Structures are given as structure tokens and as C-alpha cells.
Structure 1
Amino acid sequence: MAKYSDLVSFIVNNIGGKDNVISVSHCMTRLRFKLKDYSLVDEKNIISNSKITTAQKAGGEYQVVVGTSVESIYTELIASLGLKNEESQTEEKDKSVLNKIIQIITKSITPILGVLMAAGLIQGLLALLVACGALETTDGAYIILSAMGSALFTFFPIFLGYTSAKAFQMDGFVGMAIGACLVFPTILTSLTAGDPLFILFANSILETPVYKTFFGIPIIFPTTGYTSTVVPIIVSMYFTSKFEKFLKKHIPDIVAFTLVPFITIAVCVPLTILAIGPIANILSLLITAAITYLNNLSPIITSLVVGIIYQPLVILGLHWPLITIGITNMGAMGYDYIIPMIFTASFTQTAVVLAVYCKTKDKKVKNICIPAMISGCFCIIEPAIYGVTLPVKKRFAFSIIGATVGAVIISIFSARMYAVSVGVLGTVAFINPNGDMGGFFVAIVATIISMVVAFLLTFIFFNEQNSGISLIADKKQSPHSIIASPFKGKTIKLENVEDALFSKGVLGKGIAILPSEGRVIAPCDGIVTSLFPTGHAIAITSDDGCDILIHVGIDTVRLNGKYFTKKVQQGATVKKGDVLVEFDIEGITNEGYSLVSPIIILNSDNYFDIVETMNENVDYFDQLIRVISKENEVAYKLAED
């Protein structure tokens, strides 16, 4: 059962049922329903639920306030109602083509990453057993273990057919069927048997013989087939998803269950084999050829580039193309030289964290270091990055330096990986299936050297005074903290705001401002903990733990991001005065929306008092709110006296 299924069912039942819902969206704390008949709502019963803060009809919508868990509740709600996620659609509009491509690759590969690593480890261990003489290639154990390690890669398009179909929001089993056609056991030999009719791109890296036709259309089928390929099936699913959605719109529901998958497969399999597959395969070959050329020109330069950019790409979520190229190389050549260049990165992160653990005297930092090191050993470096290294940027730089040294060593000695595997057991992937263990020893030496470099740099230049985000909670609080004004404009008491959610203090205490300039700045140093896709609302957690909500205007969520420009991303660390959002005052007011903007302390209950400014007008950086902690209540009273 889903986490919020009971609450979702309760809400749906009390707003008139599923059939009464036209659409639903959400903002920072409330679900917003458009209903067919608002008289069917049992508001008294809704408000009686302890998990619901309040509910009201406003602005032509029925609003149910559920608090900061709204996004998770909304996700379950739209799944229950069978509706589309309007917020994700809005967010998609803001993304560049590159970001969309990266997102699709990530969504397609991430679900099977664990199995991918497992298969790689099995292949590596099998190579180790053969190298040690424990197994012969004719042994039954070898045959079974080989199947365990190779099955995923052999039928990779089937797995990716499902995951990429889900990424494009279409039938995953149709995706599997199309992927299965690409790697059907006899298709390669049947389409590449006999003498070729003619040859395309002769005497080039794209040389492709044509053996058969499809009703007169030449079948350009790669001589290596589509086993282990990544790009062709993902590109195919993009076009297939468009076609499937078209069919669903035009085929009656009574026959859609059978006809939609039938027509989709009947049209898209030939389309994939005749056009999409060859084009995608050619593009993959060109990319691989470019990297191969650079690597042949200078493996050291290639390793320097990859070593330097990989860890920053991890932060940006842009590292998947490198992994994809590595997997493609593995399928085409049986080995790869890209993934080896990033192999030591997780170990250098671990080495930096180890150095911090050895040097720091702060127990909280040590407690963060331990799980980060354990995760790093298995190539899960996000805890190390976000908890220890990135907050102190020189540590992150030391990790990059160490990893680059390791990448260069691996490239100099041409160590290759024969399976996709990382972490402490990943070294076995450097063992050549023919038993050559040279790459294995190179990988170990390179890993040790890279870790030593990263460790020593961090150890020598360690500074306890700049120990990272983990110390935020330990900062000594003053009797009161100051929240500056994020706007320039006229102040308005919260109780005068024309929205009960704010005026009744449901979300917390605070103040409102009618801005005279279309700019929101950070009212303090802190982290952007929530940024709504439309840009109309932003939440910041200050360095001393104060949760601040800045809501630009009333009901401006319904503008769907129009007139708003986000200047930061969710999760960003900001300094007081950094511009967070820009907005068009004239455009918003012309649309008929109020620009009265509440500034709320969401965790007001954690404090002794919230004191708002008495000034009628404020400018940027002016004191807007004083937050007095309960622990400092006595100190505050003494200071006031």
C-alpha cells in the first residue's frame, strides 16, 4: 500500500468521487481541484481529518491544504485518478533539449543499474576463476556463470525497451517486444546471410552490407546486430511513444486493448529496423569514432579531460552519456576504455572523506564520514560529495586531481575493462577473458596512487574552520536571528492577506509585502530547499535552521510560470542578497492577480516568538523578521531589558 493511499482515498471520496474531478494541480502546500460539481464536497468532513490543515473553495478551485508533503500526496493522487501530472509537464517546458536527453538516458539506465553492476561483477569473477585455473571454459559451472553474466548484455535492448518506454510514458511491454525483435536469436544470421546485394559506405567505419530487403526497401542491419546497444532502442521508444499516443486518441476504448499494441508493434518494429536503428547506430558509431580518434591521438589528453569533467558532471546529472558510450563500446568491441578513466573517482572521494575523518574533531562530521566512506567503496559517491567534499570546494578539487592522476595512469598502460563494474570489486572487470591480468594490477596501482594523492592533499590542507554543511546545525545561535526583506515594497500584516491559508497563520507566522520591484532576493544565507516549477514560490532553510517560505502573489500558481524567471535551482546554496526569482509586475497584475506576497516562517512552532517589522515600507536587506529561539528565550528577554 502506498504511503498516502488512505489520505488520497479520503480526499477523493469527500470531494465527490473520482468522476467529479476535472483536473488537479498543487502548489507548495495545497492540492487544487477543478470539480464538475462543488456542491458534492463534504468540507466539514475534510477539515475534520487531522492530516488536513484546512480546505476552501477559492479562485474557481477547491483547495485542500495538506502541508509540505503535498508533492508526494499529489503523485499518489494523480495515479489514483489516472490523470496527467500537470506540474511535470510545466517543468518539462523549462528544460533544454540536452537536459531532456540526459533525463531520458538517466531514467532508462538507472532502474537496471544494480543488475548491470551485478552482471559485470559476475563476468569479472568468472574471468578471475579462469585466470586462477579454478574453472575451464568447458565446465558446466563456467557455462552457467557465463550465462548469468552475459544475459543482460545480450538482451540489453529488451530491458531498455521496458525502462525507456516507461520514461516516455508508454506501454513498457510494447517496448520489451520491440527490443526483443532487435535481438531475436535468428534475426542477425537471417538478415546477414549469403552474398550482399550491395554495400553502403564502403571502406569507411560505417561500412554496411545489405543482404535483404523489406518489400523492396533495403534492410540496413549492422553486422554485429543490436546486442548490448543503448541508443537505437531509446530513440525508437521516443518515436513509438508518439505513435502509441496518437493511436490511443483515435482508436475506441472498446478495441484499444488489442489494436493499439498490435498496430504499434506492426508499424514500429519495421520502422525501427529500417530507419531508426540504422540512423541511431550510425550516430553512435560516429560518437564512438570521435572518442576513439581522440584516444588514439592521445590517450593521456582523453584521460585528462574525462578525469577532470566526470565528477562535476555527476553533480549536474550529466555523466550518463559517458557511461552510455562505455556500454556501447563494450557491446561493439568487447571492452571499453572510457569507464576505466572514471574508475578511480569513487575511491578518491572516499580518500578525501577519510582524510577529513582523521583530521576533524567534530563528532557530527565524523558521523557523516563513516557512511559516506562505506557508500564510496561501492561507487555511491553522492553522500561523500554533498555531505563532505562539495561544501568545501577545495576538497572536491582534491578528489578531481586524484581521480585524474588515476585516469592518466590507467590510460598510459592501456588498461581496459571487459565488463561494466565499479567499486571495490570492480577491479576484476579489468581481467581479460583470455586470462591476462595486466589490467587488473594496473587498476589496483592506479587506484592506490589516486587515493594517496587525494588523501594527502586533503590531510595537508585541512582547515577545521571551514568544515562544511554538517556544522550548520552547530552554529552558535544569537538571542535572535534576523530575516532580511526579500522584496522592496509596502508591508502588510499577515491577517490582512486575502487568503485564509496565510491570514489565519495555518502555515506559520510572518508578514506580507506588496512589491514595487520584480525581484526576489535571498533573505539570509542558506539552502533552497524547495523551488516550485512555476517559480512563484520558494522555500529556504537558513544556516541556523529557520524554514522560510516566500510566496510571490496570491494564486499565481495558476499562471503556470508565465511572467516568472527562476535564477537558482532547488538545492542551491545561496548567500544573503542572491537573486532567487525575477517576475513581471505589470504582466501579473494585468492578468488580474494580487501581488501581495507572504513571507512565512514555516517552522514557527519551533521558536519562542516571531517578531515582524513595524515599518510601513521596506527595501532589500532591511530587517523584516526577528526569529527568537526557545533556547535563547531568557537571553532574548535579558537583551530586551
Structure 2
Amino acid sequence: MNNKKIAGEILKFVGGAGNVQSVTHCATRLRIITNDKAQIDSKAVEAVDKVKGTFFNSGQYQVILGTGLVDKVYSEFVPLLSASPADQAAPKKEKMTFKRAIRIFGDVFVPIIPVLVATGLFMGLRGLLTQQAVLGMIGLTPSQIPKELLVFTQVLTDTAFAFLPALVAWSTFKIFGGTPILGIVLGLMLVSSVLPNAYAVGEGTAKPLIFFGFLKVVGYQGSVLPAFVTGIVGSKIEIFLKKYIPDSLDLILTPFLTLLSGLLLALFIIGPIFHGVETGVLQAVEFLLALPLGIGGLIYGSFGQLLGIFGIHHILNFLEISMLGKDGWDYLNPIGSCGNVAQAGAVLAVSIKSLSPKIKQIGYPSALSAALGITEPAIFGISLRLIKPYIMAMIGGGVGGFLASILHLRADGMALTGIPGMLLYLNEQLPLFIFVNLVAFGVAFGLTWFFGYQKNQEL
């Protein structure tokens, strides 16, 4: 049976084009949202050649086809939906719930996860091999590393995160029905080299642009939620324009107005809102670190993990640099490290316990990446989409952060956490650093294993 025939059979047994509200796919499954679940004949779908199984989850009817085949069947399935407009019923709008919002947010990151995992491994390896302690074993110092080699490794480690908004905007446009290439371009505009780099502004080495005397504008480097919101708004603008712009002018006006309005909204409304949030977060974290009895470490270790989701974590670079400049120590690093390692623990528990090959495929490398300090694959690929493992990781991070604060742990540098972060504690603190991270990992792993995940859960 060829791919077109498979797509046609699946469509027929899910109730026809009139019963299909939307369809997407992940690495292995066709994901169909239907208007009426009762019209689906699951036994007939499972009997279709090359279909490996089906299940219904979070409002989606998911048909398991396998890697590679799902892309081909999807390409044949989509045209069939518009082949007979007369047969299509008016779609019912699916109610937006918190769980559905998380699912959509996770779906945006599915195609990006492999890149983030690879980048995490590159960062961990680069951090390890450029540390004084490691180079000293072979009689070298960081200053002796060839500049060309450093540039090469920096390309490997910085590219994905420097252009992360472009990847997020591209995927968001695709999910919400816009033209993906417009999403890429709009995302690239958000990290244009003519805008002040967000990390440089966070470090205090650059200043934001001031428009109209009060609006502060910076680039979106490393940002997630701002690019996601911009992608949603931009795709909706494009869809709206296509309804009203004549076909003869569509090619000229639709891209022009979509990019223009999307960038204006991103820079002058979305951007300033998040800049205000960043300022508040910086002040709140400074206040937390001053609290006695480890309370600040407990709170930041738990809730600091949310900052990466909202794309405002880079503002803390300024605080860490200020600490290092003041007395040579970074007190935020050990607490943040516990949060990252806790994500690794939660995701590893899910990966081991799960019966889903898909979760295992994503989970194991994502857990390793989180242990190396890059948590995006673990968060957006597994824990946040399942919700409970994310909460368990927050608890684990909070416990580890509490211990790190009580033990007065402090790093002699920044930007390294998890396993590579041990290089910042090569003194009497190293055993304590390992201890608090193992506790964070163990608490998150244990809570997820016993309370946060059922082995038959799917993404």
C-alpha cells in the first residue's frame, strides 16, 4: 500500500475530511484533532497497512507510523483535507485549557529539540576542555588555546541559542498555520546584529536603544516566550491579511505587512513588557539571596527554573558579574545548578519508567543535556509537557538550592552548571557541590518515579 493510499484509509476511518479539525505530526505519530471522537473507527485505523497503533491523548487522536513514514503520510494526508470542500463540516473550536496550551507550547519545540541537545553537548565539552584545571593536566593554559580553535568551538556552541528566537518563531508559524519562512525572517529580525545584544545588556557592556524617550529595546537572544508570542501574533496577522487582501496583491502586501506589523509589536509592545519583567526579576533575586536560613536558596532553586521558559534568564548575567566583580564569588551559580540537575533527574526517571519509545528517544539525551547545564530539551521535550515531572524538578531544585545556601556554596566563575560546573569548585567546596547536586537530582528522580509519572503516559 503506497503512502497516499495509507493517508486516504486513515482519513476515511477517522470520519473523513469533515471530521478533521487539524492535523500535525511529531517524529513518529500523526496527530489528528477531530470534531467528533465517536466517528473514529480505531480498529479499522489500526488495521491499515504500516499503522503500528493508535491512542487518544489530550484531545488528539494519535496514529503511530514510525520515523520517516509519518512525514510522507502527512504530506499525502493534508491535501486530502481540502480535496472535497463540500463534504467538510464547520469545525468546532477546541476549548483552550492549560493542558492544551502546554501541549501546543511543547509541540513548537519538538522539531527544535535535537539541535538543542547537540548544542548542550557542545557547550559541556567546550567548557570542560577550556578550563584551567583540565588544561593544566597537559601543561597548557587557556591563553595557549589557538584563537581559531576557540572561534570554531564558539560557532558550535553559540549558533543555536543566538538564533533560538528564529527557530521558535519558525515552528510557531508552522503550528499556527502561518508561512514558516515568514516566521524564520521575523525571528531573525528579533536577533538582528543592529539591535543591542540581550546578553551584552544583561552583562552591562551594552545599553538598550531608547525609542520615544522611554521605550527600551534590545535583541531577543536566547529568548523563548517573547519569540513564541511574536510567532503567534505574526501568524494570526498573516492569516487575517490573506482573508481580505486580493489574490493579485497577496504576494506583495501579505509578507510586507506581516513582517512590519509583527516586528513593530515585538519591539515596542512585547519587548518593553518583558524588559519590565526582567528588571523586577533581577530585584527579586537580589532580595532572595539576602534572606537568611537558606530561604532564598529554596525559593530560587524552585522557581528560578521558570525564568528560562519566559526567556528572561539572561538578565541574571548582570547580577553574577556584579558578584564576581565585588568579591570574586558567584553565589547564584550553585543554586541554579541544582535546578538544572533536578530537571535531569526528573526526565531520567520518566525515560526509565516510560513504556513509550518516543519518550525514551527524547528523554535520555535530554537528561544528559540537562546534567551538562542545558535544560531546554528536557523542559520543552518532556517535563513541562507532562507537567508533574516539571513540578517535581522544581521541588528537587528547591531542596538542592536550600542546601547550597545553608552551606554557603559559591563559584569562582559563571556560566557552567551541572557536571561541567564542578570545575568552578576545585577547592574544599567540590564535595559539597557534588552533594547538593546529587540531592537535587535524587529528590527530583524519586518524586517523579513515585508520584509524578505513570508509565503509560504519552506526550
TM-score by length of 1: 0.45
The correspondence for 1:95, drawn from 90, 94, 97, is 97
Please state whether the residue corresponding to 2:61 is helix, strand or coil.
helix
CA displacement 1:31-82 (0-9 Å, x = unmatched): 59xxxxxxxxxxxxxx9x9649xxxxxxxxxxxxx98689246995863335
Matched, 1:220 2:229: no
Matched, 1:304 2:304: no
The correspondence for 2:241, drawn from 236, 247, 261, is 247
Deviation at 1:29, TM superposition (A): 5.7
Deviation at 1:248, TM superposition (A): 1.1
The correspondence for 1:427, drawn from 419, 434, 447, is 419
**In the alignment, which residue of structure 2 is the partner of 1:324?**
309
Deviation at 1:453, TM superposition (A): 7.8
Partners of 1:258 and 1:115 lie apart in 2 by 33
With over 3 angstroms needed to count, the CA separation of the structure-2 counterparts of 1:247 and 1:328, relative to structure 1, is same
Matched, 1:171 2:179: yes
**In the alignment, which residue of structure 2 is the partner of 1:184?**
192
Q: Does structure 2 conserve the Cα–Cα contact (< 8 Å) formed by 1:372 and 1:381?
A: no
Matched, 1:154 2:162: yes
Partners of 2:444 and 2:237 lie apart in 1 by 51
Matched, 1:264 2:258: yes
Deviation at 1:405, TM superposition (A): 3.9
Deviation at 1:263, TM superposition (A): 1.7
Which ranges of structure 2 fall in alignment gaps of 5 or more residues?
A: 22-33, 65-72, 321-331, 371-377
Which structure has more relative contact order (CA 8 Å, sep 6+)? It is 2
Deviation at 1:249, TM superposition (A): 0.8
With over 3 angstroms needed to count, the CA separation of the structure-2 counterparts of 1:267 and 1:7, relative to structure 1, is same
Deviation at 1:292, TM superposition (A): 4.2
Q: Does structure 2 conserve the Cα–Cα contact (< 8 Å) formed by 1:123 and 1:429?
A: no
Please state whether the residue corresponding to 2:215 is helix, strand or coil.
coil
Deviation at 1:417, TM superposition (A): 9.0
Q: Does structure 2 conserve the Cα–Cα contact (< 8 Å) formed by 1:219 and 1:274?
A: no
Name the amino acid aligned to 1:187: L
Please state whether the residue corresponding to 1:71 is helix, strand or coil.
strand
Please state whether the residue corresponding to 1:184 is helix, strand or coil.
coil
CA displacement 1:365-394 (0-9 Å, x = unmatched): 9xxxx9999679635699x99xxxx9xx9x
**In the alignment, which residue of structure 1 is the partner of 2:323?**
none
The count of aligned residue pairs is 373
Deviation at 1:265, TM superposition (A): 1.1
The correspondence for 2:317, drawn from 333, 344, 349, is 333
The aligned runs of 1:507-522 (5 Å cut-off) are none
With over 3 angstroms needed to count, the CA separation of the structure-2 counterparts of 1:165 and 1:219, relative to structure 1, is farther
The aligned runs of 1:162-561 (5 Å cut-off) are 162-188=170-196, 217=212, 220-222=215-217, 225-297=219-291, 300-305=294-299, 321-324=306-309, 328-330=312-314, 333=317, 337=333, 339-345=336-342, 378=368, 404-411=398-405, 412-415=408-411, 418-419=414-415, 426-429=418-421, 431=423, 443-449=433-439
Deviation at 1:250, TM superposition (A): 0.5
Q: Does structure 1 conserve the Cα–Cα contact (< 8 Å) formed by 2:169 and 2:228?
A: yes
Which ranges of structure 1 fall in alignment gaps of 5 or more residues?
A: 33-46, 53-65, 193-204, 311-318, 358-363, 471-526, 530-569, 572-641
Tell me the C-alpha RMSD between the 2 structures: 5.7
**In the alignment, which residue of structure 2 is the partner of 1:540?**
none
Q: Does structure 1 conserve the Cα–Cα contact (< 8 Å) formed by 2:301 and 2:336?
A: no
Structure having the larger proportion of residues in strand: 1
Is the radius of gyration larger for structure 1 or structure 2? 1
Deviation at 1:142, TM superposition (A): 1.4
Identity, % of aligned positions: 20
Partners of 1:13 and 1:405 lie apart in 2 by 52
With over 3 angstroms needed to count, the CA separation of the structure-2 counterparts of 1:375 and 1:143, relative to structure 1, is closer
Partners of 2:367 and 2:20 lie apart in 1 by 46
Please state whether the residue corresponding to 1:142 is helix, strand or coil.
helix
Partners of 1:94 and 1:229 lie apart in 2 by 24
Q: Does structure 2 conserve the Cα–Cα contact (< 8 Å) formed by 1:124 and 1:428?
A: yes
Deviation at 1:156, TM superposition (A): 2.5
Partners of 1:89 and 1:416 lie apart in 2 by 57
Q: Does structure 2 conserve the Cα–Cα contact (< 8 Å) formed by 1:345 and 1:400?
A: yes
Deviation at 1:176, TM superposition (A): 1.8
CA displacement 1:109-167 (0-9 Å, x = unmatched): 45434423432332332232222235545532111102211122222222222123334
TM-score by length of 2: 0.59
Please state whether the residue corresponding to 2:266 is helix, strand or coil.
helix
With over 3 angstroms needed to count, the CA separation of the structure-2 counterparts of 1:260 and 1:322, relative to structure 1, is same
With over 3 angstroms needed to count, the CA separation of the structure-2 counterparts of 1:262 and 1:413, relative to structure 1, is same
With over 3 angstroms needed to count, the CA separation of the structure-2 counterparts of 1:6 and 1:401, relative to structure 1, is same
Q: Does structure 2 conserve the Cα–Cα contact (< 8 Å) formed by 1:208 and 1:221?
A: no
Partners of 2:222 and 2:154 lie apart in 1 by 15
Structure having the larger proportion of residues in helix: 2
Name the amino acid aligned to 1:444: I
Q: Does structure 2 conserve the Cα–Cα contact (< 8 Å) formed by 1:209 and 1:220?
A: no
